């Protein structure tokens, strides 16, 4: 006896919130295609709270920019945007002026997760660094005028994660004293994870974040690899006159990548281990250019460092 094949459209029978959730896992352009399925499907994609734009499937800048503009114009202006991901992989991608316009718009709509991956540095509007709803911030190939914008993020009181890759800082002259940073600017009381990768003034940025974390930062990652591409690296170290509270009482995991054991890198690693009282793991990954003999010498130097935490494990690769 043969079974009849059901022609019932079970997906379309799902409640709107379930369909919105499903559409949130695909790029916004793919979600928009579902609008041609039926009258019921036509408006659903415009209510998805997660927007994901990629320029790879567009032929030129004009079509990509037009699509993004259309999405913002068609959406209900009172509808929040919880997550926004923009991946500009092509050099001819959307213009900086348009990116800033879109970013400023989403900063006003309750954004919680902002992820900008851009090929070619741009300068973001100040509204990003004063967004009170922001929880997670990922930046790649972004230019900031000075570290006060990114480091302090004084208008982002609930920020928990900061990931910065290939960040370009034009001016760091104001960042001469961590005492100045700690006293003058508000803290980041919720910051749990800080990841700084291949960026200019990475040590200054990293230390300033430690000062602002205010006893919450649990995991920190710093990548020295290719740092010379972004700044003229001066191999010296000025030992900070203060010990940030989060460093001494909260930091549990620290990862240093692209490590070459320059004097400043060695002194920085010592600073972390000597002042982190609850540190459980200090992981150091050497630069790809380091040979086996040099690695052994680096390991001997690191192993001899005093550790404030009796349970701290030093992992070196």
Span 48-62, pLDDT tens digits: 999 999 888 888 888
pLDDT in tens, 251-296: 999 999 888 878 888 888 999 999 999 999 999 998 888 888 888 8
Residue 237 to residue 271: CA distance in whole angstroms: 10
pLDDT for the residue 312:
94
**Between these two residues, 145 and 140, which has the higher pLDDT value?**
140
Q: State if pTM tops 0.85.
A: no
φ/ψ of 288, rounded to 5, equals: -65, -20
pLDDT tier at 98 (50, 70, 90 boundaries)?
Answer: confident
Going by C-alpha positions, the residue among 215, 218, 229, 202 that lies closest to residue 281 is: 218
User: Where is average pLDDT lowest: 5-9, 243-247, 289-293?
Assistant: 5-9
pLDDT for the residue 184:
63
CA 153-155-160 angle, 5° bins: 60
- The Cα-based distances of 27 to 45, 87, 114 in angstroms read 11, 11, 15
Residue 253 to residue 243: CA distance in whole angstroms: 17
User: Where is average pLDDT lowest: 9-18, 67-76, 91-100?
Assistant: 91-100
| pLDDT > 90? residue 20 | yes
pLDDT in tens, 171-204: 665 555 566 666 666 678 888 888 888 776 777 7
pLDDT for the residue 197:
82
**In whole numbers, what is the pLDDT of the chain averaged over residues?**
82
Helix axes 96-107, 61-74, angle to 10 degrees: 20
**What are the domain boundaries of the chain?**
80-174+184-215, 242-316
pLDDT for the residue 230:
47
Neighbours of 196 (CB within 10 A): 22
pLDDT tier at 156 (50, 70, 90 boundaries)?
Answer: confident
Residue 72 to residue 247: CA distance in whole angstroms: 42
Highest mean pLDDT among 136-145, 208-217, 226-235, 279-288: 279-288
């Amino acid at each position: 006896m043969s079974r009849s094949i059901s022609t019932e459209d079970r997906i379309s029978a799902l409640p709107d919130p379930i369909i919105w959730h499903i559409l949130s896992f695909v790029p916004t352009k793919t979600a928009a295609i579902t609008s041609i399925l039926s009258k019921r499907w036509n408006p659903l994609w415009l209510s998805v709270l997660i927007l994901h734009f990629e320029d790879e499937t567009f032929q030129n800048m004009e079509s990509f920019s037009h699509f993004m503009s259309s999405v913002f114009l068609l959406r209900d202006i009172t509808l929040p945007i919880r997550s926004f991901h923009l991946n500009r992989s092509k050099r001819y991608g959307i213009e900086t002026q348009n990116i800033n316009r879109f970013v400023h718009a989403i900063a006003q709509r309750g954004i919680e997760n902002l992820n900008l991956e851009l090929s070619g540095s741009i300068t973001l509007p100040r509204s990003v660094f004063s967004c009170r709803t922001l929880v997670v911030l990922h930046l790649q190939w972004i230019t900031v005028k000075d570290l006060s914008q990114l480091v302090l993020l004084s208008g982002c009181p609930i920020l928990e994660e900061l990931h910065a890759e290939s960040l370009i800082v034009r001016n760091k002259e104001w960042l001469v004293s961590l005492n100045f940073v700690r006293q003058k600017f508000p803290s980041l009381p919720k910051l749990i994870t800080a990841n700084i990768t291949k960026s200019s003034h990475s040590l200054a940025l990293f230390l300033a974040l430690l000062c602002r974390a205010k006893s919450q930062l649990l995991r920190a990652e710093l990548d020295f690899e290719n740092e010379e591409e972004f700044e003229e690296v001066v191999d010296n170290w000025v030992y900070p006159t203060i010990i940030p509270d989060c460093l001494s009482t909260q930091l549990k995991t620290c990862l240093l990548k692209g490590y070459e054991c320059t004097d400043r890198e060695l002194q920085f690693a010592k600073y972390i281990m000597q002042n982190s009282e609850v540190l459980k793991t200090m992981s150091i990954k050497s630069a790809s250019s380091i040979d086996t003999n040099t690695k052994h010498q680096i390991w001997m130097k690191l192993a001899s460092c005093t550790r404030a935490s009796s349970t701290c494990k030093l992992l070196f690769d």
